[in-house]
Copies of this chain bind each other. A is one copy, B any other.
């Protein structure tokens, strides 16, 4: 059985803990029954001997599997990872989502996408990465009474994501700690209006509106201060065809959305200025998690 989950970019500027979308970089795990427990790992994270993120997978998988099945079965897990670790591209959410889904699939128990999202809240209280990881596309989500409420919109093929991955992370913990405790009414209303307009722009495919709508006043500035080059990444991107240019999750990756025909030029402009960062184009993903038996 094989489970794969896409990378995700959350917040999208003003949509703090709310908006996200799925990018077609996938983490895949192949699970087969085996006499002994074993793990292999290729791709992102494979140079880390602690296999930290994979242990998180195994722990969550085992937790659910023991509740679903009373068989004492051992498994071989073969991981093939494309999502960079600790760069704000949803690698933790991908692990959580794929581990839960794998346990249900291997245990032979049905699991709706809605239930998968609700179960994932135990491990990740914000819905902005887990929702696009499960559903694909652009998603708007909130949590109410332990349930994820969301709306999804597919993304068209003529748009590309240009991801700019710095050579070092911003700690999610430090990044959250750097945010103010309180916001004034103007900044609050600013983000309410921009996140709503950005949502309407995605829903109505009004891409020219992204530029005005993707501005944020409540988190990006505070987080980007920890890696000031990011202000220049954003400036260069917006001057060279990016329809929007936002911090991916809590960073350090920068997410840029462009028309297909502008992708090549934007990559070359960014690469010229940030030769030490990994910069490439990706398709969007509209499927979310895939489980193949």
Contacts and interface: CB of A to CB of B under 8 A. Distances in A.
Interface of A: 14-19, 140-142, 144, 149-151, 153, 179-185, 188-201, 203-204, 206, 209, 212-213, 215, 218
Given A193-B141, A196-B15, A218 B151 contact: no
A176 B237 CA distance: 39
Nearest to A187: B188
Minimum-distance CB pairs A-B, first 6: A203-B203, A142-B193, A18-B193, A151-B200, A182-B182, A140-B200
Task: Name the residue among A144, A209, A212 with the largest chain B CB count within 10 angstroms.
Answer: A144
B183 A213 contact: no
Given A179-B185, A192-B192, A151 B197 contact: yes
Task: Name the residue among A16, A19, A196 with the largest chain B CB count within 10 angstroms.
Answer: A196
A184 B182 contact: yes
B204 A153 contact: yes
Q: How many chain copies does the complex carry?
A: 2
B182 A140 contact: no
A180 to B, nearest CB: 8
19 contacts: A15-B192, A18-B196, A142-B193, A142-B194, A142-B213, A149-B209, A149-B212, A151-B201, A181-B184, A181-B185, A182-B184, A183-B183, A183-B184, A188-B218, A196-B196, A196-B199, A199-B203, A200-B203, A203-B203
A203 B199 CA distance: 9
Contacts of A149: 197, 209, 212-213
A191 B193 contact: no
A59 to B, nearest CB: 28
A110 to B, nearest CB: 23
B17 A189 contact: yes
A56 B14 CA distance: 37
Contact of A206 (B151, B184, B195, B196): B151
Contacts of A206: 151
Contacts of A151: 197, 200-201, 204, 206, 209
Contacts of A141: 193, 197
Contacts of A18: 189, 192-193, 196-197
A16 B192 contact: yes
Given A191-B192, A196-B196, A200-B153, A212 B182 contact: no
